[in-house]
């Protein structure tokens, strides 16, 4: 994996562990020679990931919608800052530029990015690993919900392993590197669906 898209919040939570985690993830990826593709902002966890990677000499590609550049939240310190028209183009660029996805704690936008990466993998728009860093148990309920969807039958057996969740970055990256693509929906016959 040469580049990973990192999804995370643009907010700064009161608990400093989240900002420290984001900076450490950026730093750790850079030390491994893995470039960061992220939302291009300078605020919150997004800014901390970028700063951590840049401070460690890593490559950081920001992809930001034009409206957010106008709001003065763009991080012009990135190795490369790509300005796109909208969120759809932003997420398509994340997929095009990265070899996989890592999701850190975040809010609604982070969930949108995570579920789209999973959905696109399930369908067959990409065959890249989708990682979820469950630091501090932040995503315990989300992981339980994913298991619920599996148990009820809304996630097919072939797609149950798309979300790779771990509490530690090292183990998450190890599992993502060992990822083997599944059979996507586009390659299935109607009887398999």
CATH number at residue 165: 3.40.50.450
Phi, psi at residue 53, to the nearest 5°? Answer: -70, -45
> Residue 113 — pLDDT band, cuts 50, 70, 90?
very high
Answer whether residue 192 is part of any domain: no
Answer whether residue 54 is part of any domain: yes
Q: In what order do the strands lie in the sheet with 130-133?
A: 80-84, 60-65, 35-38, 3-7, 101-103, 130-133, 163-166
Answer whether residue 186 is part of any domain: no
The two beta strands, 101-103 and 163-166, are unpaired
Quick one: CA dihedral 162, 138, 61, 169, positive or negative? negative
Answer whether residue 188 is part of any domain: no
Residue 9 and residue 138: Cα distance in Å, rounded? 13
Query: Is the pLDDT reported for residue 61 higher than 80?
Result: yes
| pLDDT tens track for 167-179 | 999 999 999 999 9
| pLDDT tens track for 68-109 | 987 778 999 999 999 999 999 999 999 999 999 999 999 999
152, 160 Cβ separation under 8 angstroms: no
How far separated are the first and last CA of the chain, in Å rounded?
A: 31
Query: Is the pLDDT reported for residue 126 higher than 80?
Result: yes
Task: Supply the range of the domain harboring residue 25.
Answer: 3-180
Written as six digits, the tokens of 109 are 């936008």
Phi, psi at residue 77, to the nearest 5°? Answer: -85, -5
Output the 3-class SS for the chain: CCEEEEECCCCCCCCCHHHHHHHHHHHHHHHCCCEEEECCECCHHHHHHHHHHHHCCCCEEEEEEHHHHHCCCECCCCCEEEEECCHHHHHHHHHHHCCCEEECCCCHHHHHHHHHHHHHHHHCCCCCCEEEECHHHCCHHHHHHHHHHHHHCCCCHHHCCCEEEECCHHHHHHHHHCCCCCCCHHHCCHHHC
Counted domains in the chain:
1
Answer whether residue 187 is part of any domain: no
Q: What is the pLDDT of residue 23?
A: 98
């Amino acid at each position: 994996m040469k580049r990973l898209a990192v999804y995370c919040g643009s907010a700064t939570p009161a608990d400093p562990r989240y900002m420290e985690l984001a900076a450490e993830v950026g730093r750790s990826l850079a030390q491994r020679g893995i470039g960061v593709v992220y939302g291009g902002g300078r605020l919150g966890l997004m800014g901390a990931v970028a700063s951590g990677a840049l401070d460690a000499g890593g490559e950081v590609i920001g992809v930001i919608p034009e409206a957010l550049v106008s709001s003065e939240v763009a991080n012009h310190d990135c190795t490369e800052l790509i300005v796109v028209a909208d969120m759809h183009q932003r997420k398509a660029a994340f997929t095009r530029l990265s070899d996989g996805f890592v999701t850190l704690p975040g809010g609604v936008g982070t969930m949108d990015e995570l579920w789209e990466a999973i959905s696109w993998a399930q369908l067959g728009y990409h065959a890249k690993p989708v990682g979820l860093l469950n630091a501090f148990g932040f995503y315990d309920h989300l992981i339980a919900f994913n298991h619920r969807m599996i148990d009820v039958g809304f996630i097919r057996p072939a797609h149950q392993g798309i979300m790779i969740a771990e509490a530690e970055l090292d183990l998450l990256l190890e599992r993502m590197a060992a990822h083997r693509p599944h059979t996507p929906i586009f390659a299935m016959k109607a009887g398999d669906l």
